[in-house]
Structure 1
């Protein structure tokens, strides 16, 4: 089957449909981008904010990647897990924030890493070399719910 941007968008929609699998119910927010590179071909980047009840980000990212490869893409897809150990070690060695895993409000390096990932995904100079249909998008963000309250006090604040 020929892969098109529209097909990838269909796969992303299936991936983000929380009603299709219990694993996907943990996705709170997301950003995705469809790109095309000379070496990498047509591909998508997906960044998710996941429910904090699952403490093992590496395992969650692996399970999401496997779901993508097998179910969301009907076996056509592959994935690269930016939350795996080798990437974590490389980021620590380089002194750059990873931007994956649990990110606390006071973890400046992780928050900086997350901003770096988002800037990469939203870069304006990325374009597709092929034409696409009128219902095609190359970038999307989820719409976060309105904040329901102030949340729990952070360490050192309140009682």
Structure 2
């Protein structure tokens, strides 16, 4: 079997296949651009929070019958709080305005709303302040590292 007739038969097929593949890629990129334009028409521009901005945080109140609290009548946002650190383009660490050294948590920008101060100038205090969540940080005492106790079951004999 000679290789020349086989190559001459397969070459037009490969050219046709390469042309179809190139056309499919161009069509796919064009469709992707159309989908992006359609999606961007309904998209809101980013707010653009910065460190030091005052913001309101979205709350999630649960109804408690025993305390006479109904989440239906609870405020949707609470604050103002201050942004202390930007962890990523969309996540921010917040703190209370009077204690910025103590972080209260990390929130996505979708849970934050820019704070617009009232006309009279008095800044309201949070209705239900956010508490810091999680475990307390471990603290070491200087004399606890020097004294090492070994239990009886682990002593070397």
Which band: TM-score by shorter chain? under 0.3
Structure-2-length-normalised TM-score? 0.22
Structure showing greater radius of gyration is 2
Structure 1 length normalisation: TM-score?
Answer: 0.21
Higher helix share: 1
Structure with bigger RCO (C-alpha 8 Å, 6+ apart): 1
